[in-house]
Amino acid sequence: MWTSFKRTVRSGFVGFWRNAFVSLAAIFVMMVTLFVVGSVLFLSQLLNVSLAQIQDKVDINVYFTTDAVPDEILALKKSLEALPEVEAVTYISREEALIAFEERHEGDETTAQAIEELGDNPLGATLRVRTKETSQYEGIAAFLDEQNATTPIEKGFIDSINYDTNKGAIDKLTAIINAIERVSFFATIILIVASILITFNTIRLAIYTSREEITVMRLVGAGNMFIRGPFILQGIMYGAVAAILTLLLFYPITLWLSDGTRAFFQLDLFQYYVQDFGHIFLVIMGSGIMLGMVSSILAIARYLRY
């Protein structure tokens, strides 16, 4: 068995170097496939970061009446934080709301004079609620309405909720996120399948050049595994070499794109490549080896039929 294994490995290396031109062609095509796989990883990361930033800017504000008791507001804040769909709840006191209002209208003498004439702070406290998914805001708004209806105060202590005002923007953002995720998924599947088919045909061409050798091996009684072994090893070598070259290619590309992605997406693509290199290496190398091995097994199957 050990002797057979050594012969298989030797035959695989010999076939790899002997058909150098075909090997280079197979490696090049597999590099295209693995480049698509790697690009999908980077694009997914950019998309996730961008969507997370957009979602962070979308929230709903709960405005309370001026006579609402802070303890009741904080109790509601605690109830909201206990909900699994809530990401964060920020409490803004009446004093903080007034300071923020004055900062927004700094230089507006009419507004400043109106506040001064009132004598008292006309603003109530605010809770700023952010959910994990934009589609969950409607449920939060319903929960707040229910809590306001059950309060012992006759008219409730919630003055208004800006969900209805932001509903159009929230629904539009949710639809955009869902559409981008669907399009990205289908585009990725199509690109990967196309690349796999091209790789399969390229390796099949490499095996086709050895069809006479396969025929002779079968005539002298060689088993299917002995015939298949060198070609499987060649496929693995194609994938491994293509993966290494693809990883090397991504180094200057991500370095070149890092300034642009940092400015536009708030993500340094080169830093992501370096920090998550282990994960990227496993995905690309594993994809290359599996692609080469499976393609070789399928491509040689036709020559092993009785």
Tens digit of each residue's pLDDT (9 = 90 or more) over 290-304: 888 887 777 777 666
pLDDT at residue 274, rounded to an integer: 92
In this structure, which amino acid lies at residue 39?
S
pLDDT in tens, 32-79: 888 888 888 888 788 778 777 766 767 788 888 888 888 888 888 888
- Give yes or no for residue 8 having a pLDDT over 70: no
Q: Which domains does the chain have, with CATH numbers?
A: 2-54+174-304 (no CATH), 57-164 (3.30.70.3040)
Helices (H) and strands (E) in the chain, counts: 11, 4
Q: In this structure, what are the phi and psi dihedrals at residue 211, rounded to the nearest 5 degrees?
A: -65, -35
Residues 87 and 131 sit within 8 Å (Cβ to Cβ): yes
**Residues whose CB is less than 8 angstroms from the CB of residue 233 and which lie 6 or more positions away in sequence, other chains included:** 8, 9, 11, 12, 13, 16
Dump pLDDT digits (tens) for 207-225.
777 677 777 777 776 666 6
Query: To which H or E segment does residue 182 belong?
Result: helix 163-208
pLDDT at res. 284: 93
Instruction: Check residue 194 and give its pLDDT.
Output: 72
**Cα four-point dihedral sign 298, 300, 303, 306:** negative
pLDDT at position 306 is: 45
